[in-house]
């Protein structure tokens, strides 16, 4: 099953490497995300803080307000040196309040074999654990 990656193209490069072997659908705008979500079924959504000029929270809010089957959302913060600790914490609180299953800061996952393996495991286990029992396995 595919994973939707809604992220800035530069940020999507690492996620592509981390999730190699999984079917990934990449979108970089709100409009693309809405179109792809209408057509596809996804294991989960990876949502980057820089998605569509920092519209991560807007897409998350839309996802949670619609009456579609719940799709686990993992938010990714990965801007090195651009956000203060206070800003990162604010993003985490806002995303959690809007229903994200997890908010991961890439600063805690080194971009090496071990760090990327931990990141992959965290993303996939969060998505699988967050799927409601009422959602069909092939959804």
Q: Do residues 51 and 5 make contact, with C-beta atoms less than 8 angstroms apart?
A: no
Tell me if 136 is assigned to some domain: no
Tens digit of pLDDT for each residue in 29-45? 989 998 998 888 888 99
Calculate the alpha carbon distances from 51 to 58, 84, 93 in Å. Answer: 10, 18, 18
Domain for residue 8, yes or no? yes
Q: Tens of pLDDT along 60-111?
A: 888 888 755 578 999 998 765 577 888 888 989 999 998 899 999 988 899 9
d(CA 30, CA 92): 20
For the chain, the domain total comes to: 1
In a domain, 7, yes or no: yes
pTM: 0.86
Residue 137 within any structural domain of the chain: no
pLDDT tens-digit profile of 4-21?
A: 999 888 878 889 999 999
Evaluate whether residue 109 is within a structural domain. yes
CATH of the domain at 13: 3.40.50.2300
Quick check: helix, strand or coil at residue 46?
strand
In a domain, 118, yes or no: yes
Domain that holds residue 49: 2-130
What are φ and ψ of residue 66, in 5° steps? -80, 160
């Amino acid at each position: 099953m595919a994973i939707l990656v809604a992220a800035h193209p530069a940020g999507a490069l690492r996620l592509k490497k981390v999730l190699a072997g999984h079917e990934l659908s990449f979108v970089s705008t709100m409009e693309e995300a809405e179109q792809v979500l209408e057509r596809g079924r996804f294991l989960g959504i990876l949502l980057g803080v820089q998605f569509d000029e920092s519209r991560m929270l807007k897409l998350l809010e839309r996802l949670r307000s619609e009456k579609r089957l719940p799709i686990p959302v993992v938010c990714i913060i990965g801007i090195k040196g651009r956000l203060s600790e206070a800003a990162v914490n604010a993003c985490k609180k806002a995303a959690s309040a809007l229903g994200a299953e997890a908010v991961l800061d890439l600063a805690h996952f080194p971009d090496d074999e071990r760090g990327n393996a931990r990141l992959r495991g965290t993303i996939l286990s969060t998505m699988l654990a967050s799927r409601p029992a009422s959602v069909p396995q092939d959804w």
